[in-house]
Structure 1
Amino acid sequence: MKTLIRSTLLAVIGIATMPTAHAGEIWRATGLEQPESAFFDAAGKRIIVSNIVGNPSEADGNGYLSILSLDGKMVAQHWTDGMDAPKGMAISGGKLYVADITKIRVVNLENGKLVSTIDVPNTVFLNDMTTDASGKIYVTDMLADAIYRLDDGGQELFVRDAALASPNGIFADGGRLIVASWGKGIKPDFSTAEPGGLLSVDLATRTVSH
Structure 2
Amino acid sequence: MKTLNNKQVKEILIKLNLVFQDKMEELSQYDAVIGDGDHGVTMARGFKVASEKIESLEDESVNGYFKKFGRALISELGGAIGPLFGSIFTELSKELKGKENLGLNELSKGLQRAQNKIEELGGATVGDKTMVDSIDPVVKSLKKSLEEEKSLEEALKLAKNAAKEGVQSTIPLIAKRGRSKFLQEKSIGHQDAGATSFYYLIKTICDFVNK
Whose relative contact order is higher, 1 or 2, with alpha carbons under 8 Å and at least 6 apart? Answer: 2
TM-score by length of 2: 0.29
TM-score by length of 1: 0.29
Q: Which has the higher helix share?
A: 2
Q: Which has the higher strand share?
A: 1
